[in-house]
Structure 1
Amino acid sequence: MDFYLTALLQGLCFAGIAFGIYISMKIFNIPDITTDGSYTLGGVVTGIMLTHHQPGWVILIAVIFAGGIAGALTGIIHTKLKINALLAGILVMTALYSVNLTILGRSNLPLLNFGTIFNTVNFITNGNQNSLLILGVFVTILTLLIGYLLKTDFGIAMRATGNSEPMIRALGVNTDRMKIIGLAIANALTALSGYLITQLQGFADISMGIGIVIVGLGSVIIAETIINWLRISSVWLSLILVMAGAVIFQMVLAFTLNIGVDANLLKLVTAVFVLLIVGLPCLTAARS
């Protein structure tokens, strides 16, 4: 049971990545690869600030700010320099590797002897259950904030930019600015996942973000499949399903390991699982 509880905790930590991918890919139709770098950036900033005994709220603000800058840079390169969004993300992600390594100063930083959000805030005595409660509150607040943002006039303009950029530009909305802000928000959310997972696992690692975009993408695809199947149009339900998608994704990986699949094959299993999710709607439509 603890094995699946750990997967649930990781799934909640990855909710930020799922929300970030949802904003960049499903709202703005931008394949943002900055995710790999901004996730690590969030973990690196968290780790180094914990070793300097900074307050938790200061670390949280710094992580959001750092992730936001990374996303904004991708947006600026894409909109102002007219570079393909995928290439812009790759450029920023590549640059962030050096930035992260410079900040961390080493390849791995253990944090077991430092106070994290999970060992300084104690609602109950059981460690895993306490972490679950903390993450539940954190992710719930995050979901409410994103849902509220997307329901405001600004959020509607963001969504309209992705749906019909020429139309919303004709109405006087600066679509370049919307994309920059949207990517900044998406990567700030991704950095928050790095902030959470670093404290949960007790270390920051320079390679922790490699391939992490597939986790967010898989989570969003799971949610999108359910959304299309149930024909859901509510923003709130969509966000809840995106969060649930992150948990389901981790549960599938946990089940894979639990039945005895070699851990070395986990990335392969992840890729196949995402491929099945992506291809299932097409296969179903072909049969019908």
Structure 2
Amino acid sequence: MVSSLIGAVELGLIYAIMALGVYITFRILDFPDLTVDGSFATGGAIAAVMISHGYSPWLVSLLAFAGGLAAGACTGLLHTKGKINGLLSGILMMIALYSINMRILDKPNVSVYGEDTVFTSISPLVLMPFVVIAIKLLLDLFLHTDLGLSLRATGDNARMIRSFGANTDNTTILGISISNGLVALSGALIAQQSGFADITMGVGMIVIGLASVIIGEAIFGAGSVFRATFAVLLGSIVYRIVVALALRVEWMEASDLKLITAVIVIIALVFPSVQRSIKQKSAARRRSAELATLASKKSIGGDY
């Protein structure tokens, strides 16, 4: 049990980088980006192939980030310059990346067992908190710059920010690029942690990212940017712990992982609405009781 929980925390920390990327498009830009499923595998493919050829794992991770930036930029260009629907742009790029990733790997999977990775000399549980916190703080700082504020305003009200002379096309492309860069970096780290990259490793990543974002916001709230990004990190860890515990149930199998993910997301989405509905009904009952008490007092006063 303890070892599985430790493994869940390790995975949660690595996937937290991907969740931050999903947070940028899902919450800040309000953009339904399905490129994530492809760019995650792109990062893993770049890392596995280059590490197997003897390149530095840190350099490889940066190049994977650059690969994700390029994939995100293509999606952004399809949407802003090609005038293609945002959802369709992501789907088209995700499909294209499948073939690109197969070209990079040159076969369905590539192993990096026995090769030097960023985790060769230090455990992910020790290294990843520093990496994740550093990325989170850098993202927070960026979102408080003028360019970052323009990015946030683009998601809130694109028409308003255009009236101030900002180019929303550029900010949209930038946001999607950074998002997929982080996703690809997470994919590269997962490939190094698991010891291989697979052509299908990105399937369902958008759902996992959304689950992390939604769970984090539901449990820890999302007021300021600092709090929201911190909630996303914790949400990723909580999600992995919940999955690890669910898989320990006797009648659960590893093949049920996608089902567990879907159920967790549904619960996370429905819970705030149910909670809000209960509060509204409770407030309505209190109001009715107060009105009834007031009416009763007036009736007594009238009798006298």
The equivalences for 1:67-146 within 5 A come to: 67-119=68-120, 121-122=121-122, 130-146=123-139
Mapped partners of 1:165, 1:234: distance in 2:
20
* Aligned-residue RMSD, C-alpha: 1.1
Which protein, 1 or 2, shows the higher relative CO under an 8 Å CA cutoff with sep ≥ 6? 1
Q: CA deviation at 1:233?
A: 2.3
Offset from partner CA, 1:85-144 (integer Å, 9 cap, x none): 00000000000000000100111111111111101x33xxxxxxx221111111111111
Q: Which moved more, 1:195-204 or 1:261-270?
A: 261-270
Partner in structure 2 of residue 283 of structure 1: 274
Q: Does 1:200 align with 2:193?
A: yes
Q: Does 1:240 align with 2:233?
A: no
Q: Secondary structure at the match of 2:197?
A: strand
Q: Secondary structure at the match of 2:200?
A: coil
Share of identical aligned residues, percent?
40
Opposite residue 131 of structure 1, the aligned amino acid is P
Q: CA deviation at 1:227?
A: 5.1
Q: Does 1:161 align with 2:161?
A: no
Q: Secondary structure at the match of 2:119?
A: helix
Mapped partners of 2:138, 2:273: distance in 1:
34
Structure 1: gaps of 5 or more residues: 123-129
Mapped partners of 1:68, 1:35: distance in 2:
11
> Are the counterparts in 1 of residues 58 and 118 from structure 2 also a CA contact under 8 Å?
no
The two structures have a TM-score, normalised by structure 2, of: 0.89
Q: CA deviation at 1:285?
A: 2.6
Opposite residue 15 of structure 1, the aligned amino acid is A
> Are the counterparts in 1 of residues 25 and 179 from structure 2 also a CA contact under 8 Å?
yes
Offset from partner CA, 1:193-216 (integer Å, 9 cap, x none): 101111111110000001111110
Larger Rg: 2
Opposite residue 181 of structure 2, the aligned amino acid is A
User: Which runs of structure 1 show a deviation greater than 6 angstroms over 4 or more consecutive aligned residues?
Assistant: none
The two structures have a TM-score, normalised by structure 1, of: 0.94
Partner in structure 1 of residue 64 of structure 2: 63
Partner in structure 1 of residue 38 of structure 2: 37
Q: Secondary structure at the match of 1:118?
A: coil
Mapped partners of 2:20, 2:60: distance in 1:
20
Structure 2: gaps of 5 or more residues: 282-304
Mapped partners of 1:60, 1:98: distance in 2:
21
